[in-house]
Amino acid sequence: MSHTGLVIPAAGQGSRLGYQAKALLKTTQGLSFLEQIATTAKECHIDSCVVVAGAPFIQSVSLEAKRLNLMVIENTQTTYGMAASVSLGFSYLKQHHVALTGALLWPVDHGYVSSAIVHQILNESSHGHYDIVLPSYQTHGGHPTWFSKKIWQELIDSIDGKQGARDVVYADSKRVCRLVVDSNTVISDVDTPTDLTSGH
Buried b / exposed e along 151-180 (16+ C-beta atoms within 10 A): bbebbbebbeeeebbbbbbeeeeeebbebe
Task: Name the more confident of 48 and 197.
Answer: 48
The whole domain housing 52 covers 4-197
Percent of all residues in the chain with a pLDDT value above 70, rounded to a whole number: 89
Number of domains in the chain: 1
- Predicted TM-score of the model (pTM): 0.93
The average pLDDT across 113-135 equals 97
Task: Give per-residue pLDDT as tens, 79-112.
Answer: 788 899 999 999 999 999 999 999 999 999 999 9
pLDDT band for position 191 (50/70/90)? low
| 179/25 Cα distance (integer angstroms) | 28
Q: Cα torsion at 196, 159, 137, 179 (round to 10°)?
A: -140
CATH number of residue 153's parent domain: 3.90.550.10
